[in-house]
Amino acid sequence: MTAALAQLEGLEKSYRQGDQHVYVLKGIDLSIGQGEFIALQGPSGSGKSTLMHILGLLDRPSAGRYRLNGQDVDGMDDAALSDLRNRTIGFIFQTFYLIPYVSALENVMLPGLYSRTAGRRLKARARQLLEQVGLADRMDFKPSQLSGGQQQRVAMARALINDPSLILADEPTGQLDSATSTEIMELISGVNAAGPTVVVVTHDSNVAGYARRRIEIHDGLCRNC
Amino acid sequence: MTAFAAIADGLRLGWRLIAMARAAIWAYRLRSAFVVAGVALGVAALTIIVASIDGANRKAMEMVNMFGPDAAFVIGGNIESRAVGMRYRTLTHADVQRLRQSLPGAYLVVPMQGKGDVTVRHGTQKTQVANLVGTTSGYAQVWNWPLAEGRDFSEDDVLRGAKVALIGDAPARVLFGERSPVGQTVLVDQLPVQIIGRLAYRGVSGGAHNVDERMILPITTLTQRFNLDRNYFRAIRVKFHAPELMVSHVANLKSLLRDSHRLQEGEKDDFSIITADEVLKFMAMFKGGLVVFLGLTALVAMAAGGFVLANLFYLSVQERRMEIGLKKALGATDMAIMYQILIEAVSLTLIGSGFGLVLGKLMGRLLERLGILELMFSWKVFFFAAAAAIAIGLIFGLRPARQAARMSPIEALK
């Protein structure tokens, strides 16, 4: 296995409900290496979404340690987490989440706007990425003028704009037909081959088939980490 | 990181947030228009208020200047007890003689008699004149009211009861247009008089009347031809040297008149003395009322605009949950989100205040034309409007902006 990108030790997440603690994650030990392609699977309510949120620095664990790129993230404040998330993580969502009133190009540039990348370089990189996902002729289109598959390609380009080391895709093909799903998964595979680690959350065994490693979460515990 | 780099980063992010705010304002243009309209109405009200307070100030200064800081105006009867039927025919020839001879510091004493609303004709033109004033020579000088052309009455005109007149600017314009009235003969009621001088345009509206709407006759002519009281004057104007001694001038004037009228100790004055100070006091009272009334109106208008803004921004933040949650997930800090919403709020209120200024000016013009308010617009108004807009944007935009900043991306992206 290559060097660890993300390392989780005894990771727990619990909520207070009245005077009871409800455990969503009950102690997860997981190491994700650089360049891996992982499928994160499990029934709904298993805790896989929560694990994904913690991996993506959108949520904090209640107990345990999380090291990303060798940095202990537990002690970081919100602003530092935002910055780290911005630089190291790219998100792809089931429902794309594009800003409806700006063009494809501007949607792709969005994460870069919160980084220190200069505007000109950012724009050039965004164009390059849109060409890469096959949307060279759709850069100035609004999301509503694009098909579902095209919107997800825009979202992929957006996920790549800051050259992240970890891409988190949450049911990336959940809204797409099977032919389009295949195209998107081919693209994601291609991205993974070029360097970044990819974690895909999915119910779909076809999608999971692209991954080289499967992790199954049940009842807040990892079976095969 | 050096301080310079930090500043450069901050500026770059600030610039990008402004661009994002601009895009959002345009994307949600209907709501933006509502905010702009709400603020515009408030700022329009504020514009008119500031302008009318300035206008009242200017008017007060004009009235004081017209009245003259070196003059006193004596009217017959005590204005404080006139209502209870006190005598007001108290100022006599003897009083005028005595003031001219014995009042220290006084260099001009001019008695006046008056009649309201007379018709003045010239050829086929006719006009109604609010004030027909009878006076001795020195009327123009004693009221600091220069003659635009012609000459004042002579002693001789007054002694003979000559049929000559000074004409105010308003009737001169109606009867003669741009032509000179001097040398022309007009009919005052039935009396033909020759115009020998025209008073300069003054343009102050003294209460209900236009001050320029007047005719001046020698006092003898007025009392004889119009059968007015020949023994008593309605008022006396007194001009003094050394206006810095006005307090003692007025005290002297008062004791001299009391002595002339043989008033005992403890008896009330049977005359009233008005000075520029009194005028100022009255104007201050009037202005105080105006400030309170208009100030409250402005406050209500601005608060209404502010609440419209706050509500629309709450709605906006709710409606744009996805956008805000997404931006946070993609690495926007709480501060970046908050600043973007605040920039949107302040931009809209600034645009609104721009419209409000224009609207306020237009409404102000209308009010001025209808003679309801005296207004004065200045850069101060512009400054006030911009400051008010920024304040409203910041105060009422802050809570929605913080709510947006605290939004959890997980909740927002469910």
Per-residue pLDDT tens over the stretch B256-268: 999 999 998 888 8
Q: Do B9 and A53 touch (CB under 8 A)?
A: no
Q: Which residue has the higher pLDDT, A50 or B1?
A: A50
Same domain, B39 and B144: no
Q: Which residue has the higher pLDDT, B369 or A197?
A: A197
- Please tell me the distance in Å from B372's CA to the nearest CA on chain A: 48
Q: Which residue has the higher pLDDT, B85 or B395?
A: B395
Mean pLDDT, range B76-105, rounded to an integer: 82
Residue B22: domain span: 8-63+282-412
b/e sequence A186-206, b meaning 16+ C-beta within 10 Å: ebbeebbeeebbbbbbbebee
Full-model pTM: 0.74
Domain count, chain B: 2
- Please tell me the distance in Å from B331's CA to the nearest CA on chain A: 4
Q: What is the pLDDT of residue B84?
A: 59
Q: Do A97 and B336 touch (CB under 8 A)?
A: no
Residues of chain A positioned with their CB less than 8 A from the CB of B32? none
Residues of chain A positioned with their CB less than 8 A from the CB of B16? 113-114, 119
* Rounded distance between C-alpha atoms, residue A60 and residue A81, angstroms: 10
Same domain, B106 and B219: yes
Q: What is the pLDDT of residue B86?
A: 65
Mean pLDDT, range B283-309, rounded to an integer: 81
* Residue B277 covered by a domain: no
Q: What is the pLDDT of residue A1?
A: 46
Mutation target for B interface from A57, A113, A154, A165: give the one with most B CBs within 10 A.
A113
Mean pLDDT, range B211-231, rounded to an integer: 89
* Residue B185 covered by a domain: yes
A71-72 and A89-92 strand pairing: unpaired
Among candidates B314, B306, B301, which has minimal Cα distance to B389? B306
pLDDT at A201 over 90: yes
Same domain, B111 and B246: yes
Residue of A nearest to B335 (CA): A79
List, in order, residues 6 or more apart from B119 with CB less than 8 Å away: B126, B127, B128, B129, B188, B189
pLDDT at A150 over 70: yes
Confidence of residue B325 (pLDDT cuts 50, 70, 90): very high
Q: Do A116 and B335 touch (CB under 8 A)?
A: no
Percent of chain B with pLDDT over 70: 97
Mutation target for B interface from A89, A97, A167, A170: give the one with most B CBs within 10 A.
A97
Residues, chain A? 225
* Residue B294 covered by a domain: yes
pLDDT at B65 over 90: no
B107-155 pLDDT per residue, tens: 999 999 988 889 999 988 899 998 899 999 888 888 888 899 999 999 8
Same domain, B110 and B145: yes
pLDDT at B407 over 50: yes
- Please tell me the distance in Å from A60's CA to the nearest CA on chain B: 12
* Residue B399 covered by a domain: yes
Find the CB nearest B329 among A58, A100, A162: A58
B407 touches chain A (CB under 8 A): no
Mutation target for B interface from A82, A85, A105, A140: give the one with most B CBs within 10 A.
A82
Residue of A nearest to B329 (CA): A58
Q: What is the pLDDT of residue B258?
A: 93
How much is the mean pLDDT over chain B? 88
B343-361 pLDDT per residue, tens: 999 999 999 999 999 998 8
Q: What is the pLDDT of residue B290?
A: 78
- Please tell me the distance in Å from B210's CA to the nearest CA on chain A: 60
Q: Which residue has the higher pLDDT, B51 or B318?
A: B318
- Please tell me the distance in Å from B320's CA to the nearest CA on chain A: 10
Q: What is the pLDDT of residue B265?
A: 87
Confidence of residue A160 (pLDDT cuts 50, 70, 90): very high
A58-62, B30-34, B206-210, B404-408: range with lowest mean pLDDT: B206-210
- B 318-357 residues with CB < 8 A to A: 322-323, 326-336
Q: What is the pLDDT of residue A111?
A: 97
Q: Please state the ipTM of this predicted complex.
A: 0.94
Q: Do A91 and B329 touch (CB under 8 A)?
A: yes
Residues of chain B positioned with their CB less than 8 A from the CB of A112? none
Same domain, B229 and B360: no
List, in order, residues 6 or more apart from B81 with CB less than 8 Å away: B268
Kindly report the number of other CB atoms within 10 A of residue B148's CB atom. Answer: 16
pLDDT at A191 over 90: yes
Q: Which residue type is seen at A117?
A: T
> Tokens 């027909």 appear where?
B132
B86 touches chain A (CB under 8 A): no
* Residue B74 covered by a domain: no
Q: Do A59 and B410 touch (CB under 8 A)?
A: yes
Confidence of residue A136 (pLDDT cuts 50, 70, 90): very high
Percent of chain A with pLDDT over 70: 99
Q: What is the DSSP-derived secondary structure letter of residue B230?
A: S
Same domain, B102 and B237: yes
Mean pLDDT, range A3-8, rounded to an integer: 89
Same domain, B47 and B138: no
Q: Which domains does chain A have, with CATH numbers?
A: 35-62+76-222 (3.40.50.300)
Q: Could you tell me the strand order of the sheet in which A213-218 lies?
A: A89-92, A166-170, A197-201, A37-41, A213-218, A221-222
Residues of chain A positioned with their CB less than 8 A from the CB of B24? 101
Same domain, B294 and B170: no
Mean pLDDT, range A53-78, rounded to an integer: 93
Same domain, B56 and B198: no
Residues of chain A in Cβ contact (below 8 Å) with chain B: 53, 56, 58-59, 78-79, 82-83, 85-87, 91, 93, 97, 99-102, 106, 110-111, 113-116, 118-119, 158, 162
* Residue B73 covered by a domain: no
* Residue B71 covered by a domain: no
Residue of B nearest to A158 (CA): B330
* Residue B69 covered by a domain: no
* Rounded distance between C-alpha atoms, residue B294 and residue B157, angstroms: 51
- B 12-51 residues with CB < 8 A to A: 12-13, 16, 20, 23-24, 26-27
B106-122 and B235-240 strand pairing: antiparallel
B298 touches chain A (CB under 8 A): no
Ordered alpha helix ranges (H), chain A: 48-55, 78-88, 104-113, 119-132, 148-160, 178-193, 205-208
Axis-axis angle for helices B29-67, B3-27 (nearest 10)? 100
- Please tell me the distance in Å from B412's CA to the nearest CA on chain A: 11
Same domain, B182 and B256: yes
Among candidates A158, A183, A24, which has minimal Cα distance to A102? A158
Same domain, B323 and B254: no
pLDDT at B282 over 80: no
Find the CB nearest B333 among A82, A110, A119: A82
Residues of chain A positioned with their CB less than 8 A from the CB of B12? 116, 118-119
Calculate ∠ Cα B51-B56-B59, nearest 5°.
120
Same domain, B294 and B235: no
